[in-house]
């Protein structure tokens, strides 16, 4: 897993977060909408869970890469 994260470039992850992670942008980012549904207990259909997973993966990878980079630096 760590080798895979090291292979991913920062620019690819950032572009993935800004495109797939936030699309569609109108009326609000899709990931934000799905997280609100989760917190309100409205995320029930399997397609909604899958959708949240697909839009959330780039953000999770970016956070993990940042955490590993900070750990290496210290």
Q: Where are the domains of the chain?
A: 9-66
pLDDT tens, position by position, 25-35: 888 888 898 89
pLDDT at 14: 94
In the prediction, which pLDDT does 74 show?
78
Q: Which two tokens stand for residue 52?
A: 């949240």
Q: One digit per residue, pLDDT tens: the chain, 74 residues? A: 678 888 899 999 999 999 988 888 888 888 898 899 999 999 899 998 999 999 999 999 999 999 999 988 87
What Cα–Cα distance (Å) separates residue 70 from each residue in 35, 58, 73?
Answer: 27, 18, 5
Handedness of CA 10, 8, 22, 19 (dihedral sign): positive
């Amino acid at each position: 897993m760590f080798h895979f994260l090291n292979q991913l470039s920062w620019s690819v992850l950032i572009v993935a977060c800004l495109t797939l992670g936030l699309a569609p942008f109108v009326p609000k980012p899709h990931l934000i909408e799905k997280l609100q549904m989760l917190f309100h207990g409205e995320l029930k259909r399997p397609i909604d869970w899958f959708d949240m997973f697909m839009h959330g993966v780039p953000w999770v990878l970016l956070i993990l890469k940042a955490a590993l980079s900070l750990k290496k630096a210290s």
